[in-house]
Structure 1
Amino acid sequence: MTFSIRNCFSFASVLASSVLLSSCASFESDAPKMTVGAGTPVPVSGETEPVGTLGDDAADDPEIWADPADPSRAVILGTDKKAGLYVYGLDGKVRQFLPEGQLNNVDLRDGFEVDGRRMVLAGASDRGRMGMTLFLLDPATLEVRTWGHAPTAVSEPYGFCLGRRGDAFIAVMVGKDGDVKQYRIASAAGQPQVTEERSFRLSSQPEGCVVDDATGALYVGEEAKGIWLYALDPAAPAEPRLIAAAPSEQLKPDVEGLALMKDAAGTWLIASSQGDSAFAVWKVDGPEPVYRGRFSAVAANGVDNVTGTDGLAAHAGPIGAYPEGLLVIQDDLDTDGEALTAPQRRQNFKLVDWREVRRALGL
């Protein structure tokens, strides 16, 4: 099916203010009990301001864009699944907030043409409107605007990722009941055109997914079972391959966010092992995935530990003060040494220098 969509949303951008909190009471996260630092410790280097929704599980998934010509010009996108999309600078400060409601996972791809202009296409699963919401990031200004919304026939929009297959831009929508649909995204007269090209199903709840544009690989995380490898090509055989099982020594359910890091040493698949606040790493540019270890993001530089991660993103190469790459990771409970009451619970995104991961795991 094909949808041609008129943009029905306001383009207003609301700057979010930072939240100043203090309390003498303590608070325990409602996430499952977990061991902090179950992987090899890697120091956190920075963090974003928290998302605006307090007292709830709100921050979910980040994505990163940097100008290839000037990697000091970069932004981080992060979802508040109760309220909308945040745009942060690398200093962690809020640049924009787009109040688009219940957005869950976000992803982006460069080089998308709209009315003769090259833009950055971003998209997010939209649980409130049962579909995907699409955005355009202007590389000249680093401003993000809502482009449109498309309904998607999945059980409940949950996971989401974008990819490239040749000149085609592909969106993968992961439903909460295990149903997955794949779409082509194009611009028609300046408006989004969304065409379904295939569907498949997992046996239980999935969420995280990531596409390797170079190889045509689609990785999907099934929360209680592990990581599956599919071909992005809809004409390829639909039978997937389980490349990492859960529960296992590598992955403690839930299996959550997935990201790919491509550096001079190869292509690395990174998965959030939410059950023990760790991240498993595989080298995936050879004939078979090779497991290389686990790390946890631990308190450093005045920033607290990362626990119970939902989503994560990776950017290879120079970006701001990170000469070899950057990870951005959702943190289930942002404390920075403070004691919080339940209504004050806050969540944000932590920054990790890729050099520290390589050093810790010997990559």
Structure 2
Amino acid sequence: MLERIMNARAGLSALAPALVLAACAGAEAPAFSPWPTGTVTASVETAPVGTANADAADDPAIWRNAADPAKSIVLGTDKKAGIYSYDLSGKVMDFVPAGLLNNVDLVELADGTVLVAASDRTEETVARIAFFTLAADGTLTAGPKLPVGSGEAYGFCMAPAAAPGQLARSYVVTKAGPVIETVLGGTADAPIAISTRTLAIPTQSEGCVVDPRTDMLYVGEELVGVHRFDLSEADPKGEIVASADGLALVADVEGLALAPMGKNGGMLIASSQGDNAYVGFMLPGMEYVGRVRIGDGEMIDGTSETDGIAFAAGDFGPAFPNGIFIAQDGDNASEGASISGASTQNFKLVRGDSLIAALGAKN
């Protein structure tokens, strides 16, 4: 794997002058990366979201049922209508109409309550978080909607509490770029904002994920690349740790997911929406690892135009013994038809160990 990384770096260095010249001449980045890209297939696909003939499915999350991993639950947003829960066979367990929800995440609290939250973009000028609780049978119970600042709530992710007295931490990525961090207090039924601060990003961004092991926040600026913020700092300044160069990562940079391995290793995975791929970067240094696509299988089609992604480590039962990777499919053509415009968008579930292997890393 180290040799692959060094070769990839060498290739990027060799191509850099040409990329600069092309940019100066106004040339566009290649539509598909010329770099080698592996293929995996999905084991399961969810039922489509209910909003048809629209770009509707957006972002997944997963709760691991430690007591019975095979009964773990996948969440997915229909950004025109609300939020779904699915079992690991892809069957709908529950749906809550909740308006224009975009991205979703969850944390399991100390008392075992599963707190689910999503970015509510109903109002373009007021960023809100919509809260829910999730039961082990898949039932979602709607809670309050908490305003946390100005701007259209677009991307969203959560992190565990960092200090006593906190419920959790949330990160609303506004569509214009800035990220609103909110330290949450109160209870799962009635979360409150203890404090907020804003992290600067210049242009439209969406995907985000927090690595709770290192307290690093990763945010995808769609046309630029991946920013990293050290949340332990009083005034975090983002740094670009992966560029949308048209080689490793093809804009738009969309969903981000963390595949942890050990104390602070593993991979950050990014949706390279511009060429329907997923890219792995080794943590903590963000070295390029590899690229992969979800291709057509015998019964389940591949993915394209992916927005949100999620990765969860651990045993999830016989079908997913070593992790799960979930990707939104922007063009679910499972009936053999090309459905550009995504009339039946859904989510695809891939074995986590298969994805890691295809990217070229060792789990």
- Please tell me the root mean square deviation across aligned C-alpha atoms, in Å: 2.3
1:152 aligns with 2:148: yes
Structure 2 portions without partners, runs of 5+: 1-30
Q: Report how far residue 164 of structure 1 moved.
A: 1.8
1:54 aligns with 2:52: yes
Q: Report how far residue 190 of structure 1 moved.
A: 4.6
Contact 1:38 1:296 in 2 (8 A): no
Give the corresponding residue for 1:175: 174
- Change over 3 Å in CA distance of 1:296–1:159 after alignment to 2: same
- The structure 2 residue matched to 1:352, chosen from 336, 346, 350, is 350
Give the corresponding residue for 1:291: 288
Give the corresponding residue for 2:222: 223
Q: What does 1:25-40 correspond to in 2, within 5 Å?
A: 39-40=37-38
- The structure 2 residue matched to 1:78, chosen from 76, 79, 94, is 76
SS in 2 for 1:335: coil
Give the corresponding residue for 1:279: 278
- Deviation per residue, 1:183-242 (Å, 9 max, x gap): 012225952212332112211101000001111000011000000100123x43422111
1:202 aligns with 2:201: yes
Contact 1:38 1:276 in 2 (8 A): no
- Deviation per residue, 1:260-307 (Å, 9 max, x gap): 01135932100000000001101113xx22211010011114111110
- Change over 3 Å in CA distance of 1:340–1:213 after alignment to 2: same
- Change over 3 Å in CA distance of 1:355–1:344 after alignment to 2: closer
For 1:56 and 1:336, the matched residues in 2 are separated by 17
Give the corresponding residue for 1:122: 116
Bigger drift between 326-335 and 130-139 goes to: 130-139
In the alignment of these two chains, the number of paired residues is 324
Bigger drift between 127-136 and 267-276 goes to: 127-136
1:92 aligns with 2:90: yes
- The structure 1 residue matched to 2:62, chosen from 40, 53, 64, is 64
SS in 2 for 1:355: helix
- Deviation per residue, 1:85-132 (Å, 9 max, x gap): 0110100010000000100000011125xxxx4301110000115411
For 1:309 and 1:34, the matched residues in 2 are separated by 14
Give the corresponding residue for 1:303: 300
For 1:245 and 1:300, the matched residues in 2 are separated by 31
SS in 2 for 1:152: strand
- Change over 3 Å in CA distance of 1:337–1:215 after alignment to 2: same
SS in 2 for 1:118: coil
Residue type of the alignment partner of 1:166? A
Identity among equivalent pairs (%): 39
SS in 2 for 1:49: coil
Give the corresponding residue for 1:326: 324
For 2:305 and 2:341, the matched residues in 1 are separated by 19
For 2:42 and 2:209, the matched residues in 1 are separated by 23
- Change over 3 Å in CA distance of 1:335–1:178 after alignment to 2: same
Bigger drift between 252-261 and 300-309 goes to: 300-309
For 1:204 and 1:342, the matched residues in 2 are separated by 27
Contact 1:154 1:181 in 2 (8 A): no
TM-score under structure 1 normalisation?
Answer: 0.84
Bigger drift between 96-105 and 343-352 goes to: 343-352
Give the corresponding residue for 2:11: none
- Change over 3 Å in CA distance of 1:38–1:187 after alignment to 2: farther
Residue type of the alignment partner of 1:75? I
- The structure 1 residue matched to 2:314, chosen from 314, 317, 323, is 317
SS in 2 for 1:72: helix
Q: Report how far residue 343 of structure 1 moved.
A: 8.4
Contact 1:334 1:348 in 2 (8 A): yes
For 1:276 and 1:246, the matched residues in 2 are separated by 12
Q: Which has the higher strand share?
A: 1
Structure 1 portions without partners, runs of 5+: 1-32
Q: Report how far residue 361 of structure 1 moved.
A: 2.8
Contact 2:184 2:195 in 1 (8 A): no
Asked which structure has the greater RCO (Cα within 8 Å, sep 6+), the reply is: 1
Bigger drift between 186-195 and 240-249 goes to: 186-195
Q: Report how far residue 253 of structure 1 moved.
A: 0.6
For 1:45 and 1:190, the matched residues in 2 are separated by 35
SS in 2 for 1:359: helix
Contact 1:88 1:96 in 2 (8 A): yes
SS in 2 for 1:67: coil
Residue type of the alignment partner of 1:126? D
- Deviation per residue, 1:54-94 (Å, 9 max, x gap): 11100000000111232112110000000000110100010
Q: Which has the higher helix share?
A: 2
SS in 2 for 1:275: helix
1:214 aligns with 2:219: no
Contact 2:115 2:188 in 1 (8 A): no
For 1:343 and 1:244, the matched residues in 2 are separated by 29
